[in-house]
Amino acid sequence: MSHDETPFDPYAKLVRMANQIGTFFESKPHDEGVAGVAEHINKFWEPRMRRHLFEVVDAGGGDLKPIVLEAAGTIRRPAPEERKAG
């Protein structure tokens, strides 16, 4: 790999989206902001997106903003993805 190539991060877009939500809610009082992040993700993210978010959280949080990590405690964790027999 050359020095100007970066490895593909399958979660980069999802982390960026979560952090954009976090940035918006950072302008609110802290507790309201944390609740706002969780409410937004619970309302608008499909289970697969939330599952991937928790994969990042469970792996240490990566580049997620602290407000997003704190909100994870009240974001609905979807059931594990079922593997299809094939």
- The pTM (predicted TM-score) of the whole model is 0.84
Q: What is the pLDDT along the chain (86 residues), one digit of tens a residue?
A: 445 555 678 899 999 999 999 999 999 999 999 999 999 999 999 999 999 999 999 999 999 999 999 999 999 999 887 665 55
Q: What is the 3-state secondary structure (H, E, C) of the chain?
A: CCCCCCCCCCCHHHHHHHHHHHHHHCCCCHHHHHHHHHHHHHHHCCHHHHHHHHHHHHCCCCCCCHHHHHHHHHCCCCCCCCCCCC
